[in-house]
Amino acid sequence: MGQLNAGIVPVTPFQQNCAILFDMDDRNGVVVDPGGDVDKILAVLKDNAITAGAIWITHGHIDHAGGAMELKDALGVDIIGPHEADRPLLANLENQARRFGLTDPVRNCVPDRFLIEGETVSFGEHVFKVLHCPGHAPGHVVYYNRAAKFAHVGDVLFRGSIGRSDLPGAITRH
Ligand SMILES: [Zn+2]
């Protein structure tokens, strides 16, 4: 087993950090939260000789899931996650795109499999525990790799702030 590595690809006008998690040795991995700019994500995979075997979603906001169906078609892989509580958000992405005036093509997302608290997902030998962390979005999940002490937290934590709450489904804090 090679070392786990994470590459970041800023996508969408929101500059959301799409992540490519991969094994340093065999270059197999997954794409997490392809919100858009699918051509850019595909170019990064190609330029770094990384084979993505799945798409993992942390939650159903447009900047995290807006490009998932297009990327799924391009790669021929499954979309895994988030928790089913985000199904309504994922079914409403095209409306979100219109509301935000996005020009990038966005498609409503139907995951191949939803996740629940405590189960695991993996690629190669890299195993991630699924933590269901509702709040920012009802179906938000975190992918935690104990061996590498690495967690892909999506929007549960923002650098310098704690979770934005201006997107649909978020809990507003007072
Ligand atoms: Zn979000």
Which own/partner pairs from 46-50 qualify as long-range (CB within 8 Å, at least 24 positions apart)? 48/7, 48/20, 48/22, 50/7, 50/20, 50/22
Indicate whether 27 belongs to any domain.
yes
State the distance from the centre of ligand 1 to the C-alpha of 26, rounded, in angstroms.
Answer: 31
Per-chain mean pLDDT for the chain: 90
State the distance from the centre of ligand 1 to the C-alpha of 133, rounded, in angstroms.
Answer: 12
Number of CB atoms found within 10 A of residue 13's CB: 14
State the distance from the centre of ligand 1 to the C-alpha of 137, rounded, in angstroms.
Answer: 7
Domain of 47 in residue numbering reads as 4-116
State the distance from the centre of ligand 1 to the C-alpha of 156, rounded, in angstroms.
Answer: 8
Residue 168's pLDDT is 53
Indicate whether 21 belongs to any domain.
yes
The share of the chain scoring above pLDDT 90, in percent, equals: 74
Given a cut of 70, is residue 158 above it in pLDDT?
no
- If one compares 162 and 145, the residue with the highest pLDDT of the two is 145
Instruction: Look at the chain and report how many structural domains it folds into.
Output: 1
Number of CB atoms found within 10 A of residue 154's CB: 28
State the distance from the centre of ligand 1 to the C-alpha of 162, rounded, in angstroms.
Answer: 12
State the distance from the centre of ligand 1 to the C-alpha of 58, rounded, in angstroms.
Answer: 9
Distance CA 126, CA 96 (A): 34
Residue 28's pLDDT is 97
Indicate whether 48 belongs to any domain.
yes
Given a cut of 70, is residue 172 above it in pLDDT?
no
Distance CA 27, CA 97 (A): 33
State the distance from the centre of ligand 1 to the C-alpha of 153, rounded, in angstroms.
Answer: 11
Indicate whether 148 belongs to any domain.
no
β-pairing verdict for 16-23 and 4-11: antiparallel
Give me the sign of the Cα torsion angle 17, 166, 54, 105: negative
Least confident of 4-13, 21-30, 82-91, 138-147: 4-13
Indicate whether 143 belongs to any domain.
no
Q: What is the pLDDT of residues 121-131, one digit of tens each?
A: 999 999 999 99
State the distance from the centre of ligand 1 to the C-alpha of 69, rounded, in angstroms.
Answer: 18
State the distance from the centre of ligand 1 to the C-alpha of 2, rounded, in angstroms.
Answer: 31
Of 4, 31, 5, residue with least CA distance to 19: 31
Q: What is the CATH number of the domain that holds 69?
A: 3.60.15.10
Residue 117's pLDDT is 97
State the distance from the centre of ligand 1 to the C-alpha of 1, rounded, in angstroms.
Answer: 32
